[in-house]
Structure 1
């Protein structure tokens, strides 16, 4: 039976999804820590579907003009064989998603549960936080997302596949890889957010399939509330992150990850 969620749980869990989906700070670390602190049970499949719909809606709405141009130019390029910067960007999003799909099949065939260990999540939160900081220091920061090459996409795509290991942070590892191939922080974040669309969509479809096969009743109030809260918070995060990231850099997020990882070790060791 799906748990009955009160409005505190709905609000907190939806905010966590909206805030951590796009910030490079590890959503899985927070989703383990917060229920532990509040003594909550798992929120259930229906709520997971709702907050995924919310974050997907936010990123699609924010990048709606970019997505329209990418789809239009990509479709036209299939006919004319004349690529544009937007059609190439669409291809890069598609190709960079493939390693995560392949790795996802491996994880779903038995490894996922064994990796959802608090100490593994703590280690990856800390380790990839240090790598994020290092990439911010070492990256050249001179290129935009339209200058990406197939070699760059291979690096970013395989980095995104690592995000299926809990604690890694999908946005964190893809921004790290993009910085290492020379993108500016804002360009790295923009590409990471565009790259999130097929991943969030795929995860949402899989969860929706499981939900439709479940006999448990759906709490529509929790679903609607979770969708709206996660969508609004995610949209704000995307807008503010892209506005300030070139000035702020990755150090604050890396330090936060170190603190979060240390707290997880303290609570679960």
Structure 2
């Protein structure tokens, strides 16, 4: 399940302006830098939607057979886990009477299941059509930042991680959610396993060693989930960046995920 998480509002404003310079001589930037955040979104989209064009995914929706009902939007909000409901709730608060509002009771009814009851083609069609509305797109952006990007960034900054580590945390939040649920292993458990194996930089540890420990724990989590078995999202993507020492997500970035090759040449 991808539970709704609380964001420490002030923490998102943290900017490590006093960071030591990167190998290029430029000051380090966090993942909330617009260019870095766009890279993070393209990296996630390569795994979630097999494309770097994440901004074309607001209208995406399908049941991928993972037991979470419909998967939709820019990071794969799910009808069975509640974050898709949160998107529609946000949209309705901002634009009452929208075409998705009538599905709110059905979305509440399918929480914790993969059921399509009360949804079906009428819902998926309305979702896809709503993607042309900037208010709907903003609702997705806000839920992404509230439940995934923001909490991941706060936790990563607290652990002393660079932009790469911040992205690795964010991607884990997107795929696994924060807490464990039936049949899943959440970010909290993955991080606990990593901390047992290696100290994060905030505790005096080496960042690359710690990130490898985190990725080891994540691979184990993926293999324990019935709906996830392919670990290329880690092994031929994020592990590659760690091995190459791209702690600032320096471009060019080249990786493979689920058998497909991707590349980002410039920020």
TM-score normalised by structure 1 residue count: 0.30
Q: Which has the higher strand share?
A: 2
TM-score normalised by structure 2 residue count: 0.31
Q: Which has the higher helix share?
A: 1
Structure with the bigger RCO (C-alpha within 8 Å, sep 6+) is 1
